[in-house]
């Protein structure tokens, strides 16, 4: 079983990916936060920097595209092919209102005829392997039956399923029965994504999954950076030195490209990662109150010490 890092906008860009690979590893593929496909091959500076091969040396990267126009998908895919990417991932799972209101992400699942036509075009005209990250539908888990029928018509390299609807966002329990339905009703390679936050979550969920599938981790990995290592039993854990090293590489990477605004990005990351640190309530309160680089650095050094890098 391979383990993937999920794309999370603002959090799992090249800075975090490279830091994570140095300290923990045990990730087989890193999926980039989505790139908005356009009819021009040009990408935004931020997007281009994130997928630049020079920024991702030694780690396996899969760029993710957000698109509902076949030409835009092809043009952006061609640009990524020129950069050396042999696999791209299509996002039809993002639940954000700004995305779904434009018929993209999970919003595309509500337009099944258009989705079918879109797939027919991109699989005729794209050089790379295409994997797909999806939800079940917009509002009813049973929408997935018809969605899967569409997917089954095409040579999808891997189908990554987050078994919730768009309207459920990240609340409530996942519909594991729908993932099991996919097991029984497709020959496509599958990957599971959703609510794996602990080793116990993994063991409970995967005890019910009958066929070999891969695993994509998102919020659970950010909260517990050692989670992939626990699943793979490679012996790494969240000791203070590992967390300090991860912080050192991430923080210095953000400072290089963001300057004083790196503090705001680190506060966002600590919101996810704080449970991996002892005495975390007091520590987190001080992080949230910190102002400026010097203040923030003093708080982190007080609790984590100096990283032995």
Each residue's pLDDT expressed in tens, for the chain with a length of 309 residues: 999 999 999 999 999 999 999 999 999 999 999 999 999 888 999 999 999 999 999 999 999 999 999 999 999 999 999 999 999 999 999 999 999 999 999 999 999 999 999 999 999 999 999 999 999 999 999 999 999 999 999 999 999 999 999 999 999 999 999 999 999 999 999 999 999 999 999 999 999 999 999 999 999 999 999 999 999 999 998 888 999 999 999 999 999 999 999 999 999 999 999 988 877 899 999 999 999 999 999 999 998 887 666
Give residue 122's pLDDT: 98
Q: What is the pLDDT of residues 81-95, one digit of tens each?
A: 999 999 999 999 999
What ranges do the domains of the chain cover? 3-232, 240-304
Which residues have C-beta within 8 Å of that of residue 7, sequence separation ≥ 6?
31, 32, 33, 34, 64, 89, 91
Nearest 5°: phi and psi at 59?
Answer: -130, 150
Which residues have C-beta within 8 Å of that of residue 102, sequence separation ≥ 6?
68
Q: Are 225 and 203 in contact (CB under 8 A)?
A: no
Q: Are 173 and 136 in contact (CB under 8 A)?
A: no
DSSP string across 232-285:
HT------HHHHHHHHHHHHHHHHHHHGGGHHHHHHHHHHHHGGGSTTHHHHHH
CA dist 147 and 142 (Å) reads: 9
Q: Are 110 and 116 in contact (CB under 8 A)?
A: no
CA dist 168 and 171 (Å) reads: 6
Cα 216 versus chain centre, distance: 7
Q: Which fold, 3-232? A: TIM Barrel (3.20.20)
DSSP string across 176-240:
HHHHHHHHHH--S-EEEES---SHHHHHHHHTT--S--EEEESHHHHH-TTHHHHHHT------H
Torsion 261-266-271-274 (CA) sign: negative
List the structure tokens of 67: 């698109």
The H or E element spanning position 82 is helix 70-82
């Amino acid at each position: 079983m391979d383990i993937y890092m999920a794309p999370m906008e603002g959090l799992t860009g090249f800075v975090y990916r490279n830091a994570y690979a140095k300290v923990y590893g045990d990730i087989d593929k890193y999926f980039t936060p989505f790139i908005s496909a356009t009819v021009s091959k040009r990408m935004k500076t931020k997007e281009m920097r994130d997928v630049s091969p020079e920024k991702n040396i030694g780690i396996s990267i899969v760029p993710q595209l957000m698109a509902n126009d076949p030409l835009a998908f092809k043009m952006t895919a061609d640009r990524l092919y020129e950069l050396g990417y042999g696999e791209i991932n299509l996002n039809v799972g993002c639940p954000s209102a700004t995305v779904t209101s434009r018929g993209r992400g999970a919003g595309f699942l509500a337009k099944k005829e258009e989705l079918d036509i879109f797939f027919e075009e991109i699989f005729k005209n794209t050089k790379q392997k295409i994997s797909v990250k999806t939800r079940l539908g917009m509002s009813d888990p049973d929408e997935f039956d018809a969605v899967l029928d569409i997917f089954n018509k095409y040579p999808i390299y891997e189908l990554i399923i987050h078994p919730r609807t768009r309207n459920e966002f990240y609340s409530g329990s996942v519909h594991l029965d729908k993932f099991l339905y996919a097991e029984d009703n497709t020959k496509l390679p599958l990957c599971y994504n959703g609510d794996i936050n602990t080793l116990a979550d993994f063991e409970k969920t995967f005890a019910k999954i009958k066929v070999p599938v891969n695993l994509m981790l998102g919020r659970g990995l950010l909260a517990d950076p050692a989670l992939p290592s626990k699943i793979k039993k490679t012996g790494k854990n969240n000791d203070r030195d590992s967390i300090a090293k991860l912080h050192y590489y991430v923080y210095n990477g953000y400072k290089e490209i963001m300057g004083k605004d790196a503090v705001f990005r680190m506060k966002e990351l600590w919101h996810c990662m704080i449970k991996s640190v002892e005495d975390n309530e007091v520590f987190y309160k001080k992080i949230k109150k910190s102002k400026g680089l010097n203040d923030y650095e003093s708080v982190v050094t007080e609790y984590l010490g100096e990283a032995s890098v």
